[in-house]
Amino acid sequence: MDSAEKSANKISSMGSGSIDQVDDDDSPYARKDNKGLKSSISHQDSDLHSRGWDDVSVYNAKKKNYAWFQAPDGKWELAKIISVTGTESLIAFSETKVLKVQSDCLLPANPEILDGIDDLIQLSYLSEPSVLYNLQYRYERDMIYSKAGPVLVAINPFKTIPLYGDDYMQAYKRKKIDSPHVYAIADTAIREMIRDEVNQSIVINGESGAGKTETAKIAMQYLAAVRGGSGIEYEILKTNPILEGFGNAKTSRNDNSSRFGKLIEIHFSEIGRIAGASIQTFLLEKSRVVQCTEGERSYHSFYQLCAGAPPSLREKLNLKSAHEYKYLQQSNCYTISGVNDAEEFRIVVEALDIVHVSKEDQENVFSMLAAVLWLGNVTFQAVDDNNHVEPMIDEALLTVAKLLGCEAENLQTALSTRKMIIMNENIIKRLNLTQAMDSRDALAKSIYSCLFDWLVEQINKSLSAGKRLSGRSISILDIYGFESFDVNSLEQFCINYANERLQQHFNHHLFKLEQEEYIQDGIDWAKVDFEDNQACLSLFEKKPLGLLSLLDEETTFPNATDMSFANKLKEHLNDNPCFRGERGKAFTVHHYAGEVKYDTTGFLEKNRDLLHSVAIQLLSSCTCKLPQIFASSMLSLTEKPAVGSLNKSGGADSQKLSVMLKFKGQLFQLMQRLGNTRSHFIRCIKPNNSHASGIYDQQLVLQQLKCCGVLEVVRISRSGFPTRMTHQKFARRYGFLLLDHVASQDPLSASVAILQQFNILPEMYQVGYTKLFFRTGQIGKLEDTRNRTLNGILRVQSCFRGHKARLILREMKRRIFTLQSFVRGQKDRKEFAILLHRHRAAARIQKRIKAINVRKDYKKLYDASDVIQAVIRGWLVRKSTEGTCLQRFKGNKDDVVVNKTYLADLQRRVLKAEIGLREKEEEKEMIQQRIQQYEKRWSDYEQKMKSMEELWQKQMNSLQSSLTLAKQNLTVDDFSDPSVNLTSANNFSRRNSNDAAGASSNEMSAGLSLISRLAEEFEQRSHVFGDDAQFLVEVKSGQAEASLNPEEELGRLKQSFEGWKKDFGARLRETKVILNKLSSEEGGSGRGGEKVKKNWWGRLNSSRVN
C-alpha cells in the first residue's frame, strides 16, 4: 500500500467530527456555517433540487474561499473566490482564467483534509463535484475502491495494481486493513453469514467494461482462500475460463464482455468451509453467434478452437483458420491485443479436465463448435422458378453432417423445408433463400445455446455439495449493466428491464425497507424522498397492456410484423409518462438511468426464437450424444399451443416459451433468491471509453454514479442508522460484558445498560420497539471491546488447556520412552545376535582365507625350493662330471658319447638305490604293523585307565565319606554335653570335676587336629594324583610334549597311589580307634559326674534330715 492510501486511511479514521473543530470566521466550514447548512436544507435552490442534492445550502460566498463552478462544457472546476459584490462573485480557475458569476451558482468545496477520504458519507459538503473530485483524487493514486455508505464503488484502473494477493487477503481477514476493497465486502459477507446464520449475496453491477467479471473473480478468490480447504474451491475458480470462453466476447466497449448474466451460489459446510457451488445463467446473447458488427468478435471459444486445437483434433474436425468461416468474417476482427487465443484454449481444456468433463465429452463439445462454424459456410441454390432453394452438397454441408452424426440428405431437408400442421394434416413447405438462411442460423444459435447450457449443467454436477451442504451460502451476481447504443434491439430491452428490477431491489433494500423499518420501530427519523422506478416497472409488467404482455401477444400472431407491434405500443401506451412513441418502428422508454430508444426491427422473430420440428427431429436422429441431448431439452421446453397460437393459422407445429417469458421467469426467481439474502452491493465504474489507464472522464463517471444510485445511497445513509440489532440479540451478544445481576435483566434493560456502560453517545443510537439502531461505526466499538474480552478469555483457556495438554504429553512421553526402551533393547539384542553371528562367520572365513593364503605361500616357497635345488644339483652334477661324463662331436651336435666308467658307476648307484628302496618299503610295513599293535594296546590301555579312574574315584569317594562321617561324629560328641548354669548349690560339684574336664578337652583338641591334618593330606594327594594322571593322558594323546614314557610313568603313578592308599587307610583306622576311645572315656566321665552329683545330693539330703 502506498503512502497516499495510508494518508487517506488516516483521514478516514478522523471522520467528519474533526471538521467541526474549525472555527475560522472566514472559513465556510465553521460550526455556525454547518448549523446554517443543516437548518437550511429545506430551503434549497431549485437548481440544486434538479441535481438531486438536498444537503448543500445556498452558498454564501466569502473571500479567500474555494468553491465549485460548472464550466460551459459541463465540467466542474475548482475556483478561488477573489471578491464578492452583492449577488455576484469574481472567481479564478484553471490558474489563468477569471470570471464573474452568480454566487448561487457556486457549490462549496470540502477542506483539503478530506481530499481522498475513502467514505463519501464523511464529506462535509456532499455534491456532484465533491464526489467526482474525491473519486478522481483516489483514482489517480491507484486507490480504485471507495465506499458510499454500504456500497462499494470500484473504478476500473485498466492496468495491474498491487492491491491483491495472499498478503492482502490475510490482512483483510485479520482486520489489519480497513480500507475499502472487494476483499472487505467478501469478508463481511462471510462474517455475517456465520454470525447471523443468514444467507448473503454480493450484487455486482455496472456497464460493460466497468470490470464486473474481474470483480466477481476477485471476490471468489477471497472466499476460496479464506474458507477453502476441501479442494472444491479450486474447481469453482476454474469455472471462470470455461464460462468466459463460451459466454464472453469482444465488443466495441469491452474486450472481454460477458454476454450473459450469471449467479454463482457458493455453499458452505457446517464448519464454515466451502462445500460446493451452483451456477445459474441468464439470457445468453445467441444472435452474436451468427451476427457481428464491425470491430467486434463472436464468442471467444470459436477463435480459441481455431488457434489452439492440436493437429489431430484439427484433422478430425476439418478445422480451418478463423478468417475462412463466414460467421467470423462479418466483423473483420480476429484477434484481441495482448490475448493469445491458443494459450487460452489450453487453459479452457485444463479447466474442463478439472471440472471432470471427460475427454470424449470435450471432443463432442469441440465438434459442436466446429459444426456451428461450418453451418455458416453452408450455401443454397435455387431448385425451381418459385425461388425455392436447397443447400448445396459441398464440403461445408458434408462436414456439418459428419460432426453432428446425421445423414447429409436429412440435413439438407431440415435446412430447406418446414413442417406445418393445417387441419390436422402435415404439410411440408419449401423455403426461399431468406427463410432457409434464417433456418440455418436458428439451428446454429440453438446448438450453441444448448451447448452452453449443457456445459453449465456439467459444471454444476461437478460442484455439487451433496451431503456436506449446511443450508448457508453466499451468492455472487455478475449481470450485465444498463446499455444504451445507437441501435437498441431485444437484447438491450431485456438487459435494461433486468437492471430496472435490480435497481428496485437496490432501492427496496437500501431506501424503502430502511424507512419503513424506522417507522415500524418508532424511531425519530426525518423521512427522505428518493426516486422510485416502480412506474417504469409497471410499464414493463402491467397486464394486459404492458410492454411484455403486448410483445408476447403480438408474437403469437403469424401475420404480425415489427411495424404492427410498434403501432400497438403507441396505441396503448402513449399516455404512460415513461413511454414515448417515435417515428417508424421505434419507441423510447424513460429508465431510471435515462431514456433509451428501441428499434422494434427483429423483436418478434427474436422473441419467438423458433427451431422447427424438422430441425429438432434432425438433432434427435443424430448418432452423436450431444445433439440428442439438445433435442430432448428443446422438446421438454415445448408448451402446448395456446388459444390464438400459430397452430390455428397454419404456423409451426409446436411453440415453446418466448424469450421474454422465459427470461421474466428467470428474473423473478433471481429476485426472489436475492430477497431471501442479505445483499452487499458493488458498483463498478468505467472511467473512460478508450480503455486507457489514468484518464478520468467526469461526465461518464457522473452518469454511471447516477445510474447506479450511488449518490442517493450517500445522501440517505448520512442521515440514517445503517446498523441495527434486536434487543435479544444485542443482549445475548454483549451481555457477558456486564455484571451478573445486570446481565440477568430483560433484554431491553440489559441493552441500555451496555450502551451506558460503554459511553455510547445518545445521538449515536436510538432504541426502537424491538431493535437498537446505530449510526455508522458505533457497533464497531462494541465489537472491539467484545473481541478483546473474548481474546482474554480464550487466552486464559488456552493457557489452562496448554498446561493440561503438557501434563498429558509429559505422561505420554514417559510411557512412550519406556515402550521405546523395551523395543529398542529387543531390537539391539537381535541386532547384536546377528552381528555376533556375522563376526564369528567373518572370523571363520578369515581363518579359511588365511590358511589358503599360507598354503599358497608355502606351495610357492616349496616349488621355488625345488627349482633352486634342481638347479644347484644340476650345477653340481655338471661340475663333478665335467670332462669325464659327456663328450661332444664337432661334426654332429646330436651325437653324444658317454664314458663307460661313469656309466658303470651310475648303474651301481641305481642298484644300490633299488635295494635301499626295498628295505625302506619293508621297514614301512613293519612300522605300520607296530602302529597297529600300538593302537590296539593304546585302546586297551585307555579302557584300563577308565576302569582305574572309576575305581580310584569310588575309593576316593569312600574315603571322603568316611572322613566326613568322622568329622560329624567328633562334632556331635564335642557339643552333646551342654553347659548348664547352676546355682550356688552346684559350685561344689563343678570344682570336683574341673580336673577331669581339662584332661578331656586336651585329648579332644588333639583328635580334631589329627582329623584336620588327614583331610588336608587327602585333598592335596587327590589333586596331585589327578593332575599327574591328566598330564600322562595328554602326553599319550599327543596334546602335550614331554621326554618320558607314558606307560612307565603310569605304572609308577599306580604303584605310588597304591602305597599311599594303604598307608592312609591304616592311619585312618588308627584315628577311628582313637576317636572311639575318646568318646568312651567321655561317656565314663559323664557317668562318674552323675554319681558324684548323686552322692553330693544324697549327702545334702541326709544332712538336712539330721
For 785-812, the pLDDT digits (tens) are 888 888 889 999 999 999 999 999 999 9
Answer yes or no: 257 catalytic: yes
The one-character DSSP state at 56 is -
Most confident of 238-247, 714-723, 727-736: 238-247
pLDDT at residue 1093 above 50?
A: no
* Per-residue confidence (pLDDT) for residue 971, from 0 to 100: 62
**53-62, 493-502, 633-642: segment of lowest average pLDDT:** 53-62
Banded model confidence at residue 28, pLDDT cuts 50, 70, 90: very low
Interval 592-606 mean pLDDT: 89
For residue 567, what is its C-alpha cell? 403501432
pLDDT over 70 percentage in the chain: 81
The answer to whether the beta carbons of residues 79 and 91 sit under 8 Å apart is yes
Kind plus residue range of the DSSP H or E element containing 683: strand 678-685
Give the Cα-Cα-Cα angle 662, 668, 669 (nearest 5 degrees). 90
**Dist CA 170 CA 176 (whole Å):** 8
Provide the pLDDT for residue 60.
Answer: 53
Looking at the predicted structure, is the pLDDT value of residue 993 above 50?
Answer: no
Q: Lowest mean pLDDT: which of 363-377, 433-447, 463-477, 865-879?
A: 463-477
Report, as an integer, the average pLDDT of 54-59. 45
Residue 208 a catalytic site member: yes
The span from the CA of 126 to the CA of 145, in Å, is: 18
Predicted pLDDT of residue 899:
67
List the catalytic residue out of 34, 239, 257, 507. Answer: 257
289-290-296-302 Cα dihedral, nearest 10 degrees = 50
Contact status, residue 598 vs residue 610, Cβ threshold 8 Å: no
Mean pLDDT of the chain: 80
To the query of whether residue 446 is one of the catalytic residues in this protein, the response is no
User: Cα 178 from chain centroid?
Assistant: 27
The active-site residue, picked from 211, 247, 481, 546, is: 481
Taking residue 374's Cβ as centre, other Cβ atoms within 10 Å add up to 27
Is 964 one of the catalytic residues? no
- 1000-1031 confidence digits (pLDDT tens): 555 556 666 767 777 777 778 777 877 777 77
Query: In this structure, are residues 397 and 409 in contact, taking their beta carbons and an 8 Å threshold?
Result: no
Confidence at 114, pLDDT banded by 50, 70, 90: confident
What is the predicted pLDDT for the residue at 1088?
47
Name the nearest CA neighbour of 528 among 724, 773, 714. 714
Q: Which of 213, 215, 248, 462 is catalytic?
A: 213
pLDDT for residue 862: 93
Of 287-291, 812-816, 892-896, 1033-1037, which gets the smallest average pLDDT? 892-896
**pLDDT grade for 4, boundaries at 50, 70 and 90:** very low
**What number is the average pLDDT over the span 496-500?**
90
Is 213 noted as a catalytic residue in this protein?
yes
Catalytic residue of the set 207, 233, 244, 483: 483
| List 103, 124, 254, 364, catalytic entry | 254
- Average pLDDT estimate for 968-995: 46
Strands (E), 562-624: 579-581, 586-591, 594-599
Q: Please say if 658 is a catalytic residue.
A: no
Helix (H) or strand (E) holding 1022: helix 994-1037
- Cα 299 to Cα 255, 292, 368, 484: the distances in Å are 11, 10, 14, 21
- Arithmetic mean of pLDDT, 276-304: 91
Judge whether residue 360 has pLDDT over 80: yes
Rg value, the chain, Cα: 61
Contact predicate 724/192, CB 8 Å: no
Cα 116-118-120 angle, rounded to 5 deg: 95
Pick the catalytic residue: 9, 208, 240, 607?
208
pLDDT band at 778 (very low <50, low <70, confident <90, very high): confident
For the question of residue 821 being annotated catalytic, the response is no
- What mean pLDDT comes out for the span 109-128? 82
Chain-centroid distance of CA 988 in Å reads 113
Quick one: what percent of the chain has pLDDT higher than 90?
37
Report how far residue 116's alpha carbon sits from residue 5's, in angstroms, rounded to the nearest whole number: 8
Indicate if 209 belongs to the active site: yes
Given a cut of 60, is residue 882 above it in pLDDT? yes
Task: Tell which wins on pLDDT, 456 or 252.
Answer: 456
The torsion angles phi and psi of 758, rounded to 5 degrees, stand at -100, 15
Cell of 164: 491483491
Of the residues 124, 251, 258, 607, only one is catalytic, namely 258
Distance of alpha carbon 765 from alpha carbon 771, whole angstroms? 11
Q: What cell numbers appear for 86 in the block?
A: 452583492
Residue 1083 reports pLDDT greater than 60 = no
Residue closest to 9 by CA, chosen among 143, 151, 121, 185: 143
Residue 634's pLDDT band (boundaries 50, 70, 90)? confident
Q: What distance in Å separates the CA atoms of residue 166 and residue 81, rounded to the nearest whole number?
A: 48
In the predicted structure, residue 61 carries a pLDDT above the cut 60: no
Q: Is 26 exposed, middle or buried (0-12, 13-18, 19+ CB in 10 A)?
A: exposed
Residue 1105 has pLDDT above 70, yes or no: no
Q: What is the pLDDT of residue 811?
A: 95
Q: Using CA atoms, how far apart are residues 878 and 1081, in angstroms rounded to an integer?
A: 102
Position with higher pLDDT, 77 vs 319: 319
∠ at Cα 205 (199, 209), nearest 5°? Answer: 140
Cα-based distances in Å from 62 to 76, 80, 114: 19, 10, 20
Which are the contacts of 65, defined by CB distance < 8 A and separation ≥ 6?
26, 27, 28, 80, 81, 108, 109
Out of 194-203, 863-872, 1031-1040, pick the least confident: 1031-1040
CB atoms within 10 A of CB 686: 22
CB 1065 within 8 Å of CB 965: no
Structure confidence at residue 26 (pLDDT)? 32
CB atoms within 10 A of CB 1044: 10
pLDDT at res. 733? 83
Q: What is the pLDDT of residues 937-964, one digit of tens each?
A: 778 777 877 887 788 778 778 777 877 7
